[in-house]
Chains A and B, each alone.
Chain A
Amino acid sequence: MLPLLIIILLTGGIAAGIIAYWNQAACRWLSLITVVVDFAIILFIWIEEGLSMTLTDSWLRDSHIPWIPSFGISFHLALDGLSLLMLVLTFFLGILAVLISWKEIQYRVGFFHFNLLWVLAGITGVFLTMDLFLFYFFWEVMLIPMYFLIGIWGHENRQYAAYKFFIFTQASGLLMLLAILGLYFIHGEQTGIYSFDYFALLNTTLSPDTARWLMLGFLAAFIVKLPVVPLHTWLPDAHTEAPTAGSLLLAGLLLKTGAYGLIRFVIPLFPSAAQSIAPWAMLLGVVGILYGAIQAYSQTDFKRLVAYTSVSHMGFIMLGVFSFNELATQGVVMQMITHGISTGALFILAGILYERIHTRDITQMGGLWSKVPFMGVAAMVFVMASLGLPGLGNFVAEFLILVGSWQANQPLTILATAGLVVATAYSLRIMQKVYLGSSMQGYILTDLSLREKLILVPMCIVIIWLGLFPQQVINTARSTVANTMHAGNHATIHQKQDQEEVPNTSAFNTERREP
């Protein structure tokens, strides 16, 4: 079942690309059907497993096909609660990405949908792979089509943004490749079995120094993707210049692969090394929260503003992951989903406006509420989500992260909470500049079309649903979170032992020196 999810997207992408030479509408429909089929499959799995999900057995599906056995590379896909949630999000946003491009993309339609579906395939692969070689492969698969999406169908400055995106991601990805190879060889030398398999590599014993260097390799790739300040500067450009579907996938999914990588790889593979950098990582998270929020406040480009809010919200992920407790990690999972939806929706709103008035400059807008009340209400919902209003999904996420991080680091949590005030300031600024105030320009606008309602209304429902009934999501992620915490706690015990040993040795040294 699992390889099928990817194969459907890959073949669907090729077919859509070819069919567009004859009929563009067919290409769109084919792409839509492709993603809908995947969405249906994953929902089916969720419904089937959701009832019988237990804490102990976290792997719901496993599919293992040898690929290059001589190097220990296999086509190993596995699904647990976290990947399940991420896939549901992937296909949900995938459907919306096809829908939102329906009118916007008129140039090289076939190639566009080919790239769109291949990005989704890459993302699906990233969320499913349990083989590090394959993981790196999918990491690249999602990068290159995205480069084309930005570079070909983007706005004015698209070439620059696409290069920047590519170089940042590629350079950091290479560091990860080095770390993967390092881990592969160390594990091979220790056990005699050379394997890229995640479960085999989990049990590698590493000296603290090696563990730290290897972890930094992984971390580099993930925190560039996340992104963490000061490695974030590709993001405002890429998000701003990308076509709407591109921004949606970037914000909704590509950033989440970074967060996913932290939870799936960095902490389980290098628990004690991750523990040892936790305060710094949390500090970077808080810097991101505040820096992103302050930057967002002064932006005048709608999409750039939303891009910086992403930087701010992803800071919460960094803060939560490195708090090493269940509360915060559940909050992180929740944040990955709710941010994907709320920020994705804001990009869609920006795109919809751009189609109508051909500007992203919010100083050129204002007073649109009276002309497009439906859009205004939708915008209000997602702006409120972005400032963390209780009742909407983002609140549950941020609240859990902050309650959790309070147990880990109190001063940083206070600073992060203060970020909510700045979040209020920038969020309300969006409402004020775009929808409220007096209308200066004589724009003639039409309110949302049926297609656009089909996109935004489900997003509204989901974000409210997640705010009021988040327990299903929490239960689904619970076993994965528990496993991650298990690895982390294991490290804590080890570390405590180390710390206990350290004073002894120093005492020993001084004794020796005294005579």
Chain B
Amino acid sequence: MLNSLWLIPTFPFLGALILVLVGSRLSRQVAARIGAGSVGLAALLTMAVGYDFLNSGVGAYQYTAWNWFDVAGLSTSFAFYLDPLSLIFIFVITFVGFLIHIYSVEFMKEDEGFARFFAYLNLFVCSMLILVLADNLVLLYLGWEGVGLCSYLLIGFWYSEAKNGYAARKAFIITRVGDTAMAIGLFMLFSIFHTLNIQDILTQAPQVWVAGTSMAVVIAFLLLGGAVGKSAQLPLQTWLPDAMAGPSPVSALIHAATMVTAGVYLITRMHTIYELAPLAQLWVGIIGAVTLLLAGCSALTQFDLKRVLAYSTISQIGYMFLAMGVGAWSSAVFHFMIHAFFKALLFLGAGAVIMALHHEHDMFRMGGLKNKLPVIYWTFLIGAASLAALPFVTAGFYSKDQILWLAWAGEKGNVWFFLAALTGAFITAIYTFRMVFITFFGKAKTQVSHVPGKRITIPLVVLSILSVFGGFIELPHTLGHFTLFSDFLSLLLPSVSLREGVESSEWILQGIAGLLALTGVYMAYVFYIRSPRISDEIKSSTYVLHQFWLQGWNVDALYNFLFVRPFVYISTLNKNDVIDKFYTMLVRATEFFNGVFVKTQSGILRWYVMGIVVGAILIITISLFVQP
């Protein structure tokens, strides 16, 4: 079964191909079957391949489909590499992807571009699978750009509105900035290792470099550039909130569960290099810590339901970066998986709410949906609880708790990382339940026009089950000490060694984190249910700050000022190409002299005689004075 690994990305690829070529002629039902079915097949196959892989006991499996190009020592193939890390990723991609496809069948059922939507979505799943299965960095780059393309296409899916197109282009261009850094990283890696095969690089790196070599640090930073672009971390985070212009299933699949965590995958995959480059690794952590705080604050002030979730995604990926910064690789991957479950759930829930309320995005015009949309309410509540990391019962608690603990207790951890993570957890609880209370409680402000059907509710229920029970496969020391997940990755990813004498404090930190989460929920309850006046007063007294956070710390305005406007200005200024002026002037000069000399040809004989005489005199005079 392992040798059918290549079929996993192939199914969605074929789905996309069929839908692109003949999609417009297919009925919606057939298009839906092809679109969702191909990903379903991929998910089933992933189960089978994964089962075989676990039973076979091999550490990794490699499959080469064909040689891509081979020039002067740069040899790349379409080759797939399966190991525990890629297995977890393809499991999440195909399984969550499949649920989202099913959801989309109902969500998009009235859309004109039904087949086009599934074509893009399938192409995305294919690219994402190639990204995580690639055995060399060039193929990874192919998947990497491929998901970027699909993200662009799907953000701008409703293309007739100019603002969607703007958001799509913004996403593509900003991530391309990061990709460019990453590409330069690949050039450097090739010039050092003479290969771009990931495993070869990882085995050779410790032999070629000693820890802290500047070359390793530079390369690690360049790859980090790619990662922050895709994963919407500081300083390239600005595209993600705008990316919410796409349909909600897209936000769930691409901008929450899978693509935006590609940066996490890349860094985890290349973790050997980061361990040889402590400075770069520290910066991974710093970027994560700062991003999770900044994005958390922005999430507090949003009124668009999906934008809350977008900022929340940025913030949660910040946690993953923080985990990688302290070397807690398996915690980062664990949080990725759990986050994929609950954030996909929340986006799908938000999508269902928005659909039920006639495309109303503003939370303050929702309200009172608790009783009208009970399934959505309960599943959303579970997702929210997991996001807020309510202690013991939610998966989010276990995944986030690991990161909090290792940010403090890990060898590379420190008190600042820990405080950032803890503050972030508190903020998360507040904005999450602010969202829940505003949306589902209080008075109904918009009438429900559409009650979601089974295709929407079933994926929600499945995801909410995962958002609760997914956490129990990895329990901390203090609570059962069950480490299925990290054991699975232990051969591949080193575990964190703790600082001395911190072990006893684990339960205290857990207690603090749990209490903070609960306090956050209570505060949200006080502000938005019990006495909403308080929140209004806070809002009006801190109006400037509120606006600042609402606009995402005005980073957009800054980049517009620094990069976009100068570029457009210069480009427009020189539209007619200043260099051409030079040649035009050459032509003008020629014409000018032509005009001057034409006058000598006047047709008047006496001028000609005069000219001949003057010329003769000149020549004779010169020949007298200048002896050859």
Residues of A near any B CB (own CB < 8 A): 164, 229-230, 232-233, 236, 294-295, 297-300, 325-327, 330, 367, 369-370, 373, 377, 384, 389-391, 395-396, 399-400, 402-403, 406-407, 413-414, 417-418, 420-421, 424-425, 428-429, 432, 435-439, 468-471, 474
Q: Pick from B66, B67, B183, B575 the residue with the most CB of A within 10 Å.
A: B183
Interface string of B22-52 (1 = CB under 8 A from A): 0010000000000000000000000000000
A436 interface neighbour in B112, B159, B186, B190, Cβ under 8 Å = B159
B544 interface contact, C-beta 8 A: no
Closest chain-A Cβ to B247's Cβ sits at a distance in Å of 16
Tell me which residues across on chain B come within 8 A of A395, comparing CB atoms. 142, 145
Closest chain-A Cβ to B597's Cβ sits at a distance in Å of 20
Knowing A417-B180, A425-B173, say if A438 contacts B160 (CB, 8 Å). yes
Find out whether the CB atom of B184 lies under 8 angstroms from the CB atom of A413: yes
Question: Can you list 6 A-B contacts with CB-CB less than 8 angstroms, sorted by A residue number?
Answer: A232-B579, A373-B24, A389-B145, A389-B146, A438-B162, A471-B70
B172 interface contact, C-beta 8 A: yes
Find out whether the CB atom of B71 lies under 8 angstroms from the CB atom of A400: yes
Residues of B near any A CB (own CB < 8 A): 20, 24, 66-72, 74, 78, 112, 138, 141-142, 145-146, 149, 152, 156, 159-162, 165, 168-169, 172-173, 176-177, 179-180, 183-184, 186-188, 190-191, 567-568, 570-572, 574-575, 577, 579-580, 582-583
B173 interface neighbour in A164, A327, A367, A421, Cβ under 8 Å = A421
Name A234's closest neighbour in chain B (CB-CB): B583
Tell me which residues across on chain B come within 8 A of A407, comparing CB atoms. 191
Name B139's closest neighbour in chain A (CB-CB): A390
CA distance in complex: A370, B187 (Å): 41
Name A418's closest neighbour in chain B (CB-CB): B180
Knowing A230-B579, A298-B574, A390-B142, say if A370 contacts B188 (CB, 8 Å). no
Name B73's closest neighbour in chain A (CB-CB): A327
Find out whether the CB atom of B142 lies under 8 angstroms from the CB atom of A414: no
CA distance in complex: A73, B138 (Å): 48
Find out whether the CB atom of B142 lies under 8 angstroms from the CB atom of A474: no
Closest chain-A Cβ to B125's Cβ sits at a distance in Å of 15
Knowing A233-B577, A297-B571, A424-B172, say if A436 contacts B165 (CB, 8 Å). yes
CA distance in complex: A361, B47 (Å): 53
Find out whether the CB atom of A327 lies under 8 angstroms from the CB atom of B74: yes
Tell me which residues across on chain A come within 8 A of B146, comparing CB atoms. 389-391
CA distance in complex: A72, B265 (Å): 65
CA distance in complex: A407, B172 (Å): 29
Knowing A390-B145, A437-B165, say if A406 contacts B575 (CB, 8 Å). no
Closest chain-A Cβ to B288's Cβ sits at a distance in Å of 25
Total contacts A-B at CB 8 Å: 131
Closest chain-A Cβ to B130's Cβ sits at a distance in Å of 9
Find out whether the CB atom of B70 lies under 8 angstroms from the CB atom of A474: yes
Tell me which residues across on chain B come within 8 A of A399, comparing CB atoms. 138, 183
Find out whether the CB atom of A403 lies under 8 angstroms from the CB atom of B74: yes
Find out whether the CB atom of B176 lies under 8 angstroms from the CB atom of A406: no
B180 interface neighbour in A367, A369, A421, Cβ under 8 Å = A421
Find out whether the CB atom of A295 lies under 8 angstroms from the CB atom of B74: no
Tell me which residues across on chain A come within 8 A of B579, comparing CB atoms. 229-230, 232-233
CA distance in complex: A389, B176 (Å): 11
Knowing A294-B567, A370-B160, say if A432 contacts B176 (CB, 8 Å). no
Closest chain-A Cβ to B427's Cβ sits at a distance in Å of 33
Tell me which residues across on chain A come within 8 A of B567, comparing CB atoms. 294, 297, 425
Find out whether the CB atom of A230 lies under 8 angstroms from the CB atom of B190: no
Name A291's closest neighbour in chain B (CB-CB): B579
Find out whether the CB atom of A417 lies under 8 angstroms from the CB atom of B184: yes
CA distance in complex: A233, B586 (Å): 13
Find out whether the CB atom of B173 lies under 8 angstroms from the CB atom of A424: yes
Name B138's closest neighbour in chain A (CB-CB): A399
Tell me which residues across on chain B come within 8 A of A436, comparing CB atoms. 156, 159-160, 165
Besides A298-B568, A403-B190, 19 more A-B contacts (Cβ < 8 Å) are A294-B571, A298-B572, A326-B72, A327-B72, A367-B160, A377-B20, A390-B138, A391-B142, A400-B74, A402-B187, A424-B173, A428-B168, A436-B159, A436-B160, A438-B160, A439-B160, A468-B78, A471-B68, A471-B70
Find out whether the CB atom of B577 lies under 8 angstroms from the CB atom of A421: no
Tell me which residues across on chain B come within 8 A of A417, comparing CB atoms. 180, 183-184, 187
Tell me which residues across on chain A come within 8 A of B176, comparing CB atoms. 420-421, 424
CA distance in complex: A383, B44 (Å): 35
Tell me which residues across on chain B come within 8 A of A418, comparing CB atoms. 180
Find out whether the CB atom of A298 lies under 8 angstroms from the CB atom of B571: yes
CA distance in complex: A369, B153 (Å): 13
Knowing A298-B574, A417-B183, say if A437 contacts B159 (CB, 8 Å). yes
Tell me which residues across on chain B come within 8 A of A471, comparing CB atoms. 67-70
Find out whether the CB atom of B159 lies under 8 angstroms from the CB atom of A369: yes
Q: Pick from B70, B72, B78, B138 the residue with the most CB of A within 10 Å.
A: B72
Q: Which 9 A-B pairs have the closest CB atoms?
A: A390-B142, A326-B72, A406-B187, A298-B571, A436-B159, A233-B580, A298-B575, A424-B176, A428-B169
Find out whether the CB atom of A421 lies under 8 angstroms from the CB atom of B160: no
CA distance in complex: A257, B183 (Å): 30
CA distance in complex: A284, B582 (Å): 18
CA distance in complex: A295, B580 (Å): 12
Knowing A327-B74, A417-B183, A418-B180, say if A468 contacts B68 (CB, 8 Å). yes
CA distance in complex: A302, B80 (Å): 41
Find out whether the CB atom of B570 lies under 8 angstroms from the CB atom of A428: no
Tell me which residues across on chain B come within 8 A of A327, comparing CB atoms. 71-72, 74
B72 interface neighbour in A229, A230, A325, A390, Cβ under 8 Å = A325
Tell me which residues across on chain B come within 8 A of A424, comparing CB atoms. 172-173, 176
Knowing A417-B184, A421-B177, say if A428 contacts B162 (CB, 8 Å). no
Tell me which residues across on chain B come within 8 A of A474, comparing CB atoms. 69-71
A432 interface neighbour in B68, B72, B165, B186, Cβ under 8 Å = B165
CA distance in complex: A402, B568 (Å): 26
Tell me which residues across on chain B come within 8 A of A294, comparing CB atoms. 567, 570-571, 574
Q: Pick from B20, B68, B177 the residue with the most CB of A within 10 Å.
A: B68
Find out whether the CB atom of B160 lies under 8 angstroms from the CB atom of A236: no
Closest chain-B Cβ to A91's Cβ sits at a distance in Å of 24
Name B564's closest neighbour in chain A (CB-CB): A425
Tell me which residues across on chain A come within 8 A of B78, comparing CB atoms. 468
CA distance in complex: A87, B146 (Å): 32
Closest chain-A Cβ to B563's Cβ sits at a distance in Å of 10
Name B112's closest neighbour in chain A (CB-CB): A370
Find out whether the CB atom of A326 lies under 8 angstroms from the CB atom of B71: yes
CA distance in complex: A199, B67 (Å): 36
Closest chain-B Cβ to A63's Cβ sits at a distance in Å of 30
Closest chain-A Cβ to B16's Cβ sits at a distance in Å of 12
Closest chain-B Cβ to A509's Cβ sits at a distance in Å of 38
Closest chain-B Cβ to A435's Cβ sits at a distance in Å of 8
Tell me which residues across on chain B come within 8 A of A164, comparing CB atoms. 583
Find out whether the CB atom of B69 lies under 8 angstroms from the CB atom of A396: yes
Name A428's closest neighbour in chain B (CB-CB): B169
CA distance in complex: A310, B98 (Å): 42
Closest chain-A Cβ to B255's Cβ sits at a distance in Å of 18
CA distance in complex: A469, B76 (Å): 11
CA distance in complex: A438, B159 (Å): 8
Knowing A327-B72, A438-B162, A470-B69, say if A403 contacts B187 (CB, 8 Å). yes
Tell me which residues across on chain A come within 8 A of B142, comparing CB atoms. 390-391, 395
Find out whether the CB atom of B69 lies under 8 angstroms from the CB atom of A428: no
Name A405's closest neighbour in chain B (CB-CB): B187
Tell me which residues across on chain A come within 8 A of B180, comparing CB atoms. 417-418, 420-421
CA distance in complex: A403, B74 (Å): 9
CA distance in complex: A316, B302 (Å): 45
CA distance in complex: A370, B116 (Å): 12
Closest chain-B Cβ to A286's Cβ sits at a distance in Å of 14
Name B168's closest neighbour in chain A (CB-CB): A428
CA distance in complex: A357, B388 (Å): 56
Knowing A390-B141, A413-B184, say if A470 contacts B68 (CB, 8 Å). yes
Tell me which residues across on chain A come within 8 A of B24, comparing CB atoms. 373
Tell me which residues across on chain B come within 8 A of A326, comparing CB atoms. 71-72
Closest chain-B Cβ to A497's Cβ sits at a distance in Å of 25
